[in-house]
Amino acid sequence: MKKQRPVHLDLQTIRFPATAIASILHRVSGVIMLFAVGILIWLLNESLASPESFAATQSLFDNLLVKFVIWGILTALGYHLIVGVRHLIMDTGRWEELASGIASAKAAFALSIVFSIIVGIWVW
């Protein structure tokens, strides 16, 4: 009996549901935050070394690239927090049906975009 299974999956033609995208991006934001911790600890260490190093660290934030990195870190943190709360709510037995899961994923995307815009205004 010959099985009709695909030999090669073309990932560009597969459409993931919003719930899968939310879950994948939640993991990606966690990895981003893992690397961001090193950057933030370095900045904290530099700022606490002396008053001169605090002034030097503070002047770093005038650089557009540093502002973009900080915005990216805060956006990843906000997304991870919002979708993490969504996952915790799902662990309690709510939003387990497909329709409510998709709606909660879309709401999490919308909240994350609003959070990202607010953080962008605050950073710049």
Which whole-number Å values give the CA distances from 83 to 16, 39, 43, 108, 114, in the listed order?
17, 23, 27, 6, 14
Indicate the DSSP class of residue 8. S
80 annotated to bind ligand? yes
Rounded CA-CA distance 72/32 in Å is: 9
Rounded CA-CA distance 82/59 in Å is: 31
* CA nearest to 119, candidates 77, 62, 84: 77
Binding residues: 80
Binding residues for heme: 80
